[in-house]
Every structure is written in structure tokens, then in C-alpha cells.
Amino acid sequence: EAVAANGGEFVPLTPVRAYDSRDGGGSLASGSSRTVNVTAGGAVPPGATSVAYTLTAADTQQQGYLAAAPAGTGTPGVSTLNWTTSGTVIANTTTVGISGGDIEVYAGGGGSSQFVIDIVGFYAPAAGVDGLRFTPLTPTRSYDSRVSDGVLTPGAGRTTSMQVAGMPASVGAVAFNLTVADTSAMGYLTVTPSGTLAPPLASTINWTQPNTVVANGTVVKSVNNQVTTFAGVGSANYLTDVAGFFN
């Protein structure tokens, strides 16, 4: 399939960590910015024009926000992720253009934060890249642990189908909303392609309080229209609502 001339087609990845300020760099203070390379050790090729990624804020202080933009484009006038209290861990999955493999992360709103970047895919116009095109669907629930398998416990993994009406029998990646409910005190879930034997060093959704209901939209590579969800240090029920697919 020909690759789009501008912007490029999507190439999904097993989630891979590109940056963690807790391992070097430290908290980003309000009013400051930091250039971050998001090529994830070669997982994102030089020809990529943008990345789909999960931005997670941790060890937050006061109230604030993070904003991301291609490196060298100046301070963005929008926010990517927001928090209202200290000690929050919160994630958002979105897409950003890259410049030389770099993005600029800016902190504002008066509060500082540690932050983590996990790459879930990239867009590339280069010939020969096995890219995918997006098809939207009416949002449809594909899985709800509350009516089937119950809470996913720490260290456990569960493979579920993402198949919904209007989706072919085999797609390259699925765009969906992940919601957790009935959470333990603190934890996270990581969604990976089906067949992943162990969770990668990445997270899809995080929570810090018991009985939290929180959601994050994301994209995951699909194997036979199935994905595997791993629970980290906490437990939760979870739901997946499909919004579209890449093929």
C-alpha cells in the first residue's frame, strides 16, 4: 500500500518507554521546558513525522499542567495533561509532531511534576514503511470485566477480544478508551498486543486512590483483534470501548 505523501501512515508498536524524568532530569518546574528525544532507542525511525505516546505525570506539586510540542516550535498555547492536587499520577495518550526525533515538554500552571513518556506508535511518510490507515467507528464496548472475569489482580495478565460491529476479522491496531473502576489504593494497567508474555516498561492508565473511575484513550497493536492487559502494583476492573481501527 502506498504511503501518504504528507503526515504519513500509522505504525503501531508494543508500548516502549522513551523517557522517565525520575531516572534523570528530575521534576520539571512550572515555567520551564525540557527537550526530550522520543525515538525510544531506535523504535521510532529517523523518517517519522510524529509519535503517538502516553504522557504520565507523577509526584505532582500543587496544581499545574504539562504541554508538549515539536522541539523548536516555542511554548504551546494548549495543555496536554492537567492535575489539581499534589501527589497525583495521571496519564493521557495523544499525538505530537517531532523535530529531529525530539519534542519539547513545558510545565505551567504553578505546579511542578515528574513525567514519563511511553511510545505506542509513529507516523512516517517514507516509502517501504508498513503503515496503516484509520477507520472510525461508533464507540462500542468490547469488554467489561465487571460482567465477565472480574478484577484484574497485581502481576496478572488477561487477553480479551476487541472485536465489535463494523471491524474486520483482523486489523493492525485498535483505537479505544480504557476505563478502570473499583480500583485498589494505587496502581496501573498496561495494554499490549496479544501474545505479549510479560508487561513492557510502560503504562496505559494510572490511579492513586481506591474506588477511582478514570479513563484514557489510547491505541494498541492488535493480534487477531485481541489485546493483553497487565495489572501493575494495583488491581482494578476495566472496560474497553472501541472508537476505530487501523488497517
Q: Cell numbers 508498513 correspond to what residue? A: 130
Which pLDDT tens digit goes with each residue over 105-146?
Answer: 999 999 999 999 999 999 998 656 678 999 999 999 999 999
What pLDDT is stored for residue 128 in this prediction? Answer: 60
- Please give the C-alpha separations between residue 204 and each of 29, 30, 179, 180, in angstroms, as whole numbers: 24, 25, 10, 11
- Residue 2's pLDDT band, with cuts at 50, 70 and 90, is very low
Which pLDDT tens digit goes with each residue over 78-87?
Answer: 999 999 999 9
How many CB atoms within 10 Å of residue 169? 7
Joined together, the cell numbers standing for residue 234 give 494495583
Sheet holding 226-231, edge to edge: 157-161, 226-231, 187-193, 205-207
Joined together, the cell numbers standing for residue 169 give 476479522
Q: Output phi, psi for 10, to 5 deg.
A: -85, 135
How many CB atoms within 10 Å of residue 168? 11
| Averaged pLDDT for residues 213-221 | 97
pTM for this one?
0.93
What pLDDT is stored for residue 197 in this prediction? Answer: 93
Greatest C-alpha distance within the chain: 49
Helix, coil or strand: residue 202: coil
